[in-house]
Amino acid sequence: MPRHRDAAPHLPVGLRALVGRRAALRWVHLVLGGALLMPFWLLCLVLVSTARGLNDTRGDLWAQFEAFAVALPLAAAVALLLPAVRVLEATAARALGLADGRELTVTASRSWAARRRTAAWFVQHLFCGGVVSGMSLSVPPAVCVLLLFPDQAAVRELFGPLGVAPQLVALGLVALVLLTNAGAGAWLARTAVPLLGPTPGERLAAAERRALELAQRNRLARELHDSVGHALSAVGIQAAAAGRVLRSDPEFAEEALKAIEETARAAVAELDTVLGLLREEPEPAAGSTAPTLAGLGALLRQMELAGVAVSARVGPGTGELPAEVSRAAYRIVQEGLTNVLRHAGRVTAELRLEVVSGALELELVNPPGEDRPSRPGGGRGLAGMAERAAVLGGTCGAGVDTDGRWRLTARLPLNS
């Protein structure tokens, strides 16, 4: 929230603190506190007068001060019992310039720690508001009397022995109100964040929600990169190959167009799954579940049509993998083959999938292409594969081996 600007920037800083826009807004906030105090004060005044056997407390200042003192604990009890007080007080503090752009709470009190802080704020707001409201009501009439009727007998009798001119007394009373308002407003502004701001528990919960949101966004980014990115890469390369041999080899061009159709259809289905994640659907739409190693054959066929022949060696037990392991393995293979297609071109890759010692071992090896040598990095694919493996407690890495071939390896525990 932007900070409030004073309407009179030409005034000195000290004077603006007393009569500027901020001072006026804080005075409104304090008067609001006085108004909130009034029902508690009237109730306690009745209780005090009843306890003391008084019929009329209008002229008894001590009874009024006693009611003021009793009203504050009663207000604290109300703030402890009503969680919504926190939201109302924070809203008023923000609207009337006490937050100064700092963070105040936007939720009701959910813990006793938050309720105690709210009660402390409510009490000091009502106390300061009662003092400033009382001075704002009593000082202006007194100032008018001192300025307009300085020769009145009561005025001379009260201030004559002091040797002080009534005009100076009036000026002093005005200054006292302004200073009290500025001091009380500054104190409330200073304590607004400690008392009305988020508690440590609320900050921790907000940080956890933020971490969860970031994790969901990262998951969505990985799904988009692996599914749609793979499909677009395959479609682009297949379309280019079909265009080059459209007249010289129409059969190959027709096969490539069929592969483009299949790839696009699969991409749409996977996009439905990703959009389901974005909408946080409780169940994925029918026919749009995330792919697993059960779809490995179709993936290898797509890659073959795109020009990458894959020699696959799949060991026993890969069909009974946990669903999350099978999905992660499929995505890693998919991204690895997409990288082969992008960086190596039309080469033959070797894929190995085996269950060894309670974990799925994955290895994908390809030689560098003749016209497009293998190169590390350059995108988010390797990081995404490593993240998928890390989520399951596994590892994933890639690099050039001693034979100059690009080697992708991953190990995914079955019981993560």
- Residue 391: band (very low, low, confident or very high) from pLDDT cuts 50, 70, 90: confident
- Residue 5: band (very low, low, confident or very high) from pLDDT cuts 50, 70, 90: low
Distance (Å, whole) CA 225 – CA 210: 22
pLDDT reading at 217 higher than 90: no
Q: What percent of the chain is modeled with pLDDT above 70?
A: 85
pLDDT reading at 372 higher than 70: no
Model confidence over 105-136: pLDDT tens digits? Answer: 878 888 888 899 999 999 999 999 999 999 99
Say what the pLDDT of residue 48 is.
85
Model confidence over 180-200: pLDDT tens digits? Answer: 999 999 999 999 988 998 877
pLDDT reading at 210 higher than 70: yes
Say what the pLDDT of residue 287 is.
41
The CA distances from residue 367 to 97, 270, 340, 413, in Å, are 67, 30, 9, 28
Say what the pLDDT of residue 374 is.
45
Say what the pLDDT of residue 2 is.
47
pLDDT reading at 14 higher than 70: no
Say what the pLDDT of residue 13 is.
60
Contact 395, 388 (CB under 8 A): no
**pTM for this entry:** 0.55
Strand bridging mode 309-314 / 348-356: parallel
Strand bridging mode 348-356 / 395-400: unpaired
- Residue 250: band (very low, low, confident or very high) from pLDDT cuts 50, 70, 90: confident
Domains and CATH numbers, the chain: 13-198 (no CATH), 206-413 (3.30.565.10)
Say what the pLDDT of residue 379 is.
55
pLDDT reading at 413 higher than 70: yes
Model confidence over 270-307: pLDDT tens digits? Answer: 777 667 766 655 444 444 456 889 889 888 887 887 77
- Residue 42: band (very low, low, confident or very high) from pLDDT cuts 50, 70, 90: very high
Contact 401, 393 (CB under 8 A): no
User: How much is the mean pLDDT over the chain?
Assistant: 82
pLDDT reading at 159 higher than 70: no
pLDDT reading at 60 higher than 90: no
| More confidently predicted of 158 and 344 | 344
pLDDT reading at 392 higher than 50: yes
pLDDT reading at 9 higher than 70: no
| More confidently predicted of 80 and 6 | 80
3-state secondary structure the chain: CCCCCCCCCCCCHHHHHHHCHHHHHHHHHHHHHHHHHHHHHHHHHHHHHHHHCCCCCCCCHHHHHHHHHHHHHHHHHHHHHCCHHHHHHHHHHHHCCCCCCCCCCCCCCCCHHHHHHHHHHHHHHHHHHHHHHHHHHHHHHHHHHHHHCCCCHHHHHHHCCCCCCHHHHHHHHHHHHHHHHHHHHHHHHHHHHHHHCCCHHHHHHHHHHHHHHHHHHHHHHHHHHHHHHHHHHHHHHHHHHHHHCCCCCHHHHHHHHHHHHHHHHHHHHHHHHHHHHHHCCCCCCCCCCCCCHHHHHHHHHHHHHHCCEEEEEECCCHHHCCHHHHHHHHHHHHHHHHHHHHHCCCCEEEEEEEEECCEEEEEEEECCCCCCCCCCCCCCHHHHHHHHHHHCCCEEEEEECCCCCEEEEEEEECCC
